[in-house]
Chain A
Amino acid sequence: MSVTTAPAWQRVQHQPNWLVRLFDWKPFLVLVCMLPAIGLLTVFLTYPLGLGIWLAFTDSTIGRSGVWVGLENFEYLMEDPLFWSAVFYSVFYTGTATVLKFGLGLWLALLLNNHLPFKSLLRAIILLPWIVPTVLSAIAFWWLYDPQFSILSYVAVDVLHLRDRYFDFLGSAWPARWSLIAANVWRGIPFVAISLLAGLQTISPSLYEAALLDGSSAWQRFRFITFPMLLPILAIVMTFSIIFTFTDFQLVYAITRGGPVNSTHLMATLAFQRGIPGGQLSEGAAIAVSMIPFLVFATLFSYFALARRKWQQGEAND
C-alpha cells in the first residue's frame, strides 16, 4: 500500500529566496555574526591600544596632534621622582593587596565550604561589596577615614580607649597608603572568596575520605589536597586580580586623588592627572604604556601557572 502512495506524495518544499539562502551560507553567516563584536573591539580597543602607544612617542597635548619625538617622554619620566614613586606604590599596592585578598579570601571560602544554614543568603550578602559601584563604596570609606568624625577612631579612642589620639588615616603618606590598601582588600575579598568557593566545591569528597582513612591531619588535607586542586582556579583569579589591582584607578581617585603630596598616586591616576586635566596627552599615554610590561608579566605568570594543570590531572608523570 505504501508503495503505491509513495509516488503520489509531492515534495512541497518551496525554494527559499536568495536572502535566506545567503544567510544559510556559512562563510557569510560567520562574517555577519563576527562583524559587530570584532568591529567594536577593533575600533574601540585595538586601534586605541595602538594609538596610545603612538601617542607615547609624540608630544601631543589636548587640542594639538603632536609630532614624533622618540623616547623623549620616557626619558623625561625616568628622571621624574613622581613617576618612580607611582611605580613603587603600584607594585606595593598590588603586592600587598593581592596577598591579603587571597589569604583572607581563601579563608572565607574555606569557611563557606562548610555546611551552613542560609548558605545562599550568606553568599549573596558577601558578594555585595563587589556589586556596589566602587566609587560609591570608596566614598563610604572616605567618610570612615575622616580625620575628625571617623567612626573607627571614635571606637578606638572613646569606646575602647586603645589610644588617645584620633587616627590620621589620610593625612600622611604611609597611613594613607595602608588605608587605600585596606579599602581595596575589602572590595576584593568577595570575588576571590566566591570564585575559590566554586573551586572548592569541585574537589571530590572521596579524596578527603581517603586522606582521613590514611590518618591525615587537617593541615595535611589542606596542604596536599585542597591547595593543589585549587591551584588552577587560583591562578586565573589571581591574574585577574593582579591586572585589575595594578591598573586600579577608582579607589585612589575617589579617596585621596593621589594625595597627600602625591604619595598615593598609582600609575593609572598619575596618567589621568597628567593626561586629561593636565592636558599632556603624550606624557599620560607614556605612563599608561609603561604599565603594559607589568601586565604582560602577570598574564604570562597565569599562563605558566595554568600549565601546571597537566601534572595535576596525571597526564605527565609526576
Chain B
Amino acid sequence: MSDATVEEARQSATAAPERLAWDSRARRMVVLYLPLACFVIILLFPFYWMAVTAFKPNAELYDYRTYNPFLIHSPTLDHIYKLLFETAYPRWLFTTMTVAVCSTFLSLLSSTLAAYAIQRLRFRGSQYVGLAIYLAYLVPPSILFIPLATMVFQLGLFDSPLALILTYPTFLVPFCTWLLIGYFKSIPYELEECALIDGATRIQILTQITLPLAVPGLISAGIFSFTLSWNEFIYALAFIQSSESKTVPVAILTELVSGDVYQWGALMAGSLLGSLPVAIFYSFFVDYYVSSMTGAVKE
C-alpha cells in the first residue's frame, strides 16, 4: 500500500493509553450505546406514534395540554371498530392478501424454474439471460405504469385484481430469480451428478433433490415477494378504480382521506392494521430475510 509511510510515521505517535481507553465502559457508552439508542428511538418512533394514535379517543388526540400525548389515558377500540365495520377495510385486506399470495406463487414458480435452468442446466448463453433478468430488476415501476395502464385497459383487465397479479411479477421475478440463482449455486452439484448416474431424470432431480435442499431459499424468496407485493402502490393506484377492489395502501390513502378534516385515529388504525400482517409474517422468518437480503447483496 502506498500509505505505508504514513502509517510508519504515525506508529511512534500511537499511545498505549488510547487502546486501553477504547475498552473503558464510559467511552463505550458514549460512542456505542448512546447513538444506537438514538437510532432505535428514531426508527421506531413513527410506529409508536401510529399505535398510540390508533388507540386514543378523539378527545385526547387533539388535546396535548391536558393529556400527556405520549401516553394513552383511556384506550379505546373505536377507531378500529369503525374501520372494520363501517368501511370496506376487511374487503381491502382480503383483496390485498389474494393479490399478494397469487403473485407470489406465480413469481416463485417461474423464477424457480428459470433459476434452475440458468444455474444448473447451463445452456449456451445462460449467463446473458441471467444478466438480462438482473437488468430487468433495475427497471422501476415508475417508468412502466403508463404503458402498462394502456395495456391493462386493452386487455380488459382494468379494475380487476388480475391486472395486479399479472403485473407484480415484473419486479418479483427478477429479484427472486437472482436470489435463487445464488441459492442453487450453494447446493453441491455432485448431488445432482450422483442422481444422474443413478438414472434419475432431470425433473426427478429438480423435484426430489434440488428443491427440497433449496427450501430456505424458496422461503426467503417467498417472504420477499409477499412483502413487496403487499407494499406495492403505484400499479394498484393506476389500475384499480372501484373502491371494493382496491388494495390496503391505496384504499387508506384514497378512501379514508376525505374532506379537509382528517380522521387521524382511523387513518393510523388502518395503517397499523395494514402493517401488521407483513410485520408478523416477517417476524417469523426474520433470519431467512436478513440472511438472504445480505446474501443477495453479496452476490
Chain A: residues with CB nearer than 8 A to chain B? 13, 16, 20, 23-24, 26-27, 29-30, 32-34, 36-38, 40-41, 44-49, 51-52, 55, 60, 62, 104, 107-108, 111-112, 114, 116, 120, 122-129, 131-137, 139-141, 143-144, 146, 148-149, 151, 154, 158, 186, 189-191, 194-195, 197-199, 202, 211-212, 214-218, 220, 224, 233, 236-237, 239, 243-244, 247-250, 253-254, 267-268, 271-272, 275-276, 281, 284-285, 288-289, 291-292, 295, 299, 318
Known contacts A30-B117, A37-B114, A288-B146; decide if A194 and B293 are in contact (CB<8 Å). Answer: yes
A37 pairs with B290, CB closer than 8 A: no
Set of chain A residues within 8 Å of B39, measured between Cβ atoms: 104, 108, 111, 126, 189
Q: Nearest-CB distance from A164 to chain B (Å)? A: 16
Set of chain B residues within 8 Å of A60, measured between Cβ atoms: 150
Set of chain A residues within 8 Å of B253, measured between Cβ atoms: 135, 139, 253-254
Known contacts A128-B279, A136-B249, A284-B146; decide if A51 and B121 are in contact (CB<8 Å). Answer: no
Q: How far is the CA of A134 from the CA of B22 in the complex (A)?
A: 39
Interface residues of B, dominant DSSP: helix
- Closest A residue, CB atoms, query B234: A249
Set of chain A residues within 8 Å of B109, measured between Cβ atoms: 36
- Closest B residue, CB atoms, query A131: B282
Set of chain A residues within 8 Å of B46, measured between Cβ atoms: 129, 137, 140-141, 144, 186
Set of chain A residues within 8 Å of B202, measured between Cβ atoms: 23-24, 26, 29
- Closest B residue, CB atoms, query A254: B253
Contact of B170 among A41, A104, A148 (CB under 8 A): A41
Q: Tell me the B87-116 residues at the A interface (CB within 8 Å).
A: 106-107, 109-111, 113-114, 116
Q: Tell me the B190-244 residues at the A interface (CB within 8 Å).
A: 199, 201-203, 227, 230-231, 233-234, 237-238
Set of chain B residues within 8 Å of A154, measured between Cβ atoms: 64, 69
Question: Quick one: CB contact mask for B1-42 with A, threshold 8 Å, 1 for yes?
Answer: 111001100111110001100100000000010011001101
Q: Tell me the B108-161 residues at the A interface (CB within 8 Å).
A: 109-111, 113-114, 116-118, 121, 123, 129, 133, 135-136, 138-151, 153
Set of chain B residues within 8 Å of A268, measured between Cβ atoms: 142, 234
A125 pairs with B233, CB closer than 8 A: no
Q: Cβ of B184 < 8 Å from any Cβ of A?
A: no
A120 pairs with B129, CB closer than 8 A: no
B49 pairs with A291, CB closer than 8 A: no
Set of chain A residues within 8 Å of B187, measured between Cβ atoms: none
In the complex, 28 of the A-B residue pairs with CB atoms within 8 angstroms, ordered by the A residue number, are: A29-B202, A36-B110, A37-B111, A37-B177, A40-B166, A40-B173, A41-B170, A41-B173, A44-B151, A45-B139, A51-B147, A52-B146, A111-B36, A122-B40, A125-B43, A127-B286, A132-B231, A133-B230, A135-B231, A135-B252, A149-B62, A194-B290, A195-B297, A233-B298, A243-B140, A281-B146, A288-B143, A299-B138
Known contacts A51-B147, A144-B49, A216-B7; decide if A190 and B43 are in contact (CB<8 Å). Answer: yes
A136 pairs with B275, CB closer than 8 A: yes
Set of chain B residues within 8 Å of A32, measured between Cβ atoms: 113
Known contacts A111-B39, A186-B43, A195-B293; decide if A26 and B136 are in contact (CB<8 Å). Answer: no
Q: Cβ of B294 < 8 Å from any Cβ of A?
A: yes
A133 pairs with B113, CB closer than 8 A: no
